A and B are shown apart, each in its own frame.
Chain A
């Protein structure tokens, strides 16, 4: 590789990212100017600088860190529940083929069902509290974990299963030493999808029932007509979501064997 080729490669790699970031910054600057000169009403869209300034207020006055941990706690409980029940049901369905044949299409259909619309029903059953939010996250996130567990265990390479048989492993040993480790990367894909669904539904339900952490904060600020605060809180939720997805992706890559 020549020395001249290196900077060219670097520019090819970073130029699109710079253009992407640059256009974002330019868009914000244009928005700032347009709003300041009154082409767009400040009562509809506050200037970006005002939104950026509201972030400090969110930390000092609105206890956004506490709210962040509240929502994270709900996600964690829902995550533990989908992992436990999703893998359990998936293993059970994979173990009993007849059950899998009978129910797999139902689970797949439920994966596309709009569970979040059941939130009024969950409020009646669990009350207006954190359990409604956690259960909304849990129910909507369960199908992908079940489906990916079935896929992962069914996709275990035959040679690995035969190795287990040649060592005369019992059914339990075969599961814990062969099937489960081999299926783990695929199961994690399901857990990752499930956690994304859970986060979406948890924040969404918090907003809808006006209870809990970050979702409720947005609703609170919007009701107070604190425009800059509302926009800043939405930006914060987007930032948290993006970091959450990035962390899950990293974890998934770490778990996946090199192809």
Chain B
């Protein structure tokens, strides 16, 4: 299934206004979806049915709370899509591990480094850090960082 078909399908799952077309030369991806956390599983399922694979899951820490970033891609042509979910601090995400097996480790990594919990994850242990670690290193409050900003400051020109 092509990116256009998936886009139409996604516009039924989320509000059409939260599906943004991106410039490949400027962002490296073609489609960006600002989603609610409750829609995540349906989006992942649609991507899986369309033959996309999960490229990675990560998060970026902001003052208003972390943004989780999911990236899907397809093998035949450049059709990279990013799904961004703004979370409040301490909020959890639904696990998409039963749609994509690859997500199981990525979710463990995000839990490990950012402390974001994933509901219904079968085995949410730390992945990279030792089991008895009591910190989440990629949060901006930890260690030496240059800046701790609000998401609106960084994605200023992208919300149009």
A binds B: no
Interface residue ranges, A against B (CB under 8 Å) = none
Q: Could you list which residues of chain B lie within 8 angstroms of chain A, going by C-beta atoms?
A: none
